[in-house]
Amino acid sequence: MEQIKVVLGDRSYPINIGSGVIEEDNIFLPLKPGNQAMLVTNKTLANLLKDKVFFQLRKSGVKIDQVIISDGEQFKTLNEVEMVISALLEKKHSRDTTLIALGGGVVGDLTGFSASIYQRGVRFIQIPTTLLAQVDASIGGKTGVNHLLGKNMVGSFWQPSSVIIDINFLQTLPYNELISGVSEIIKYAIIFDAIFFNWLEKNIEKILLLDHKSMCFCIKKCCELKSKIISLDERENNFRALLNFGHTYGHAIEAHAGYGSWLHGEAISVGMVMAARTSELLGYLKKSDYNRIISLFKKVGLPIKGPKNMSAVSYLPYMMRDKKVISGEMRLVLPISIGKAKVFSGIDKNVILNAIKDSQ
């Protein structure tokens, strides 16, 4: 088992990574025998993994209840949060309870948000089961739910007590969910690490085949990069905004198409292509780097074109509601080379529209 620490003073927490780590002794710390906890998962994972996690929690002497939410991005809503809160109240969970999120980004975000508001804040533990959640969504304390007018518009910063990443859980993933997670891995390489990008170009087939050594390296690398950024900028006042590379465009696709129509990683893949094209049109990103980015997405099987029924101009209202907009000024994360990105504002809307049109 590998352990990485997110350093946030008295709110620091470990990220435990490995195969079968869910069965390790004391993996559920800070939970102790006799403590109360509520497992939150979805209908699909309840059938696949819930019993294994329940067994380990009960073996640890934890008093565990459960709430099973609907499966899918379209259910990442305040209605499901109310269901979690109601279950906690009905089972008489007090302020010393711990919520445990077993699932992908939807379950993790929704559980974390519920934990942040239940009795003004209780502990929660992340057990991410998708690649996307293991490398990105489960780390950093961003929690929330979607609104009809924008993705993740209702939420809070609420750090977990620990993150438990069991690589064996990836064997349950459908292939499209696997490559959706690879999208976020590529994101880290493009914005932070050219050497990692080179490694991905040579080893991406191993990742897609769930090669154990390659997958461990990838997940650990992404967790190290993200934990370092969170430690420096927890609330996205500076460096952390770089992690939104591709998301301003991608969230527009998700909201317009209807949540769940596109997987998050698929939409972000197109968003990264659009951001890279914007940078190229502005003269920052070299054509050769842009082509390498496109080539890697194609090799994975990720989309590089937006929805056919979504006009370029229809992206803009969603992009203007993005959380990075300040005083009505859109800010975009753009790569200036492979391994380096910056936040830009004041970009000509026509350049943005042309970049979108070139990726349709």
290 neighbors 307 (Cβ within 8 angstroms): no
Q: Given 244, 254, 256, 266, which residue is catalytic?
A: 244
Active site includes 151?
no
> Distance between terminal CA atoms of the chain?
43
Tokens of 27: 């993996």
Active site includes 256?
no
CA dist list (Å): 311 to 38, 259, 330: 44, 18, 19
Active site includes 205?
no
What distance in Å separates the CA atoms of residue 63 and residue 319, rounded to the nearest whole number?
Answer: 44
Q: Given 120, 213, 287, 308, which residue is catalytic?
A: 120
Query: Using CA of residue 349, residue 326, residue 231, residue 136, what is the dihedral sign?
Result: negative
Number of DSSP helices (H) and strands (E) in the chain, helices first: 13, 11
Q: Given 80, 234, 236, 266, which residue is catalytic?
A: 236
Active site includes 280?
no
What distance in Å separates the CA atoms of residue 78 and residue 286, rounded to the nearest whole number?
Answer: 43
**DSSP-based three-state secondary structure for 332:** strand
**DSSP-based three-state secondary structure for 210:** coil
Tokens of 272: 């990264």
Active site includes 240?
yes
Q: Given 184, 234, 254, 280, which residue is catalytic?
A: 184
Active site includes 120?
yes
Q: Given 52, 206, 240, 321, which residue is catalytic?
A: 240
Active site includes 236?
yes
What distance in Å separates the CA atoms of residue 181 and residue 128, rounded to the nearest whole number?
Answer: 12
Matching residue, tokens 């948000």? 113
Active site includes 142?
yes
Tokens of 258: 């209807």
Residues noted as catalytic: 120, 142, 184, 226, 236, 240, 244, 247, 251, 264
